[in-house]
Amino acid sequence: MSVWGLVFSLVTIARLGVAFDYDDTLVHSQESFAKAARSVQQLRSPEYWKVVNSSYDLETPKVLPYGLACLLRAFGFRILILADRQATGGDALKKEWRHLAPKGFAFVGAPENKHLHLQDGRFVLFFGDSDRDMLEAKNAGVPAVRVRRGGKSVAADEYNPGRLGEQVLPLSQF
């Protein structure tokens, strides 16, 4: 207990944080995107993002990344969750994640804006799934860890685990 108390105190005093990408990193979100694609006429419209953001009940946490986030939170790290989504209808989603990341859920809109959020805090790690995530962490000067995508991922961006010299989290696709 005393080791935990020491680590918790040091991390909390230093205000250290760890950031996670949301889709395909912290959760399997393909079902919410599929529901939105079936529900609206035009993809990427405000109505589309409202359906995606309100369908969080269809998303399932990835076991290892979610467990790591909870463990890091228990050791005093601030958790920041970055979602590559528009914020339309996202208040309920933010509220859903308030226990893991109080005041730490941000809609970045475009993946090339993540480094702006990572530069603002004292982040010691960033967990992401795409090549763009790894480059954004590098731009912000934050060490990146790659989380493997699940077999049913609908992401269309570049995905080459280990190619950019980052660490790859084993068994993180489940």
- What is the tens place of the pLDDT at every residue in 126-165? 999 999 999 999 999 999 999 999 888 877 788 889 889 9
Tell me: pLDDT of 110 over 90.
no
CA–CA dist 101, 117 (Å, integer): 14
pLDDT band for position 121 (cuts 50, 70, 90): confident
Domains (ranges, CATH) in the chain? 2-28+61-169 (3.40.50.1000)
- For the stretch 43-55, pLDDT in tens is 889 999 999 999 9
CA–CA dist 124, 135 (Å, integer): 16
**Cα Rg for the chain, rounded, in angstroms?**
16
Widest pairwise Cα distance in the chain: 57
- For the stretch 90-106, pLDDT in tens is 999 999 999 999 989 99
* pLDDT given at position 156: 75
Contact 126, 144 (CB under 8 A): yes
Sheet with 105-107, strands from edge to edge, namely 105-107, 78-83, 16-21, 122-128, 144-147, 167-169
CA–CA dist 18, 49 (Å, integer): 26
How high does pLDDT run on average in the chain?
A: 93
* pLDDT given at position 34: 93
Is the pTM value of this prediction over 0.85?
A: yes
Q: What are the φ and ψ backbone dihedral angles of 143, each rounded to 5 degrees?
A: -60, 135
AA letter at 126? F
* pLDDT given at position 111: 80
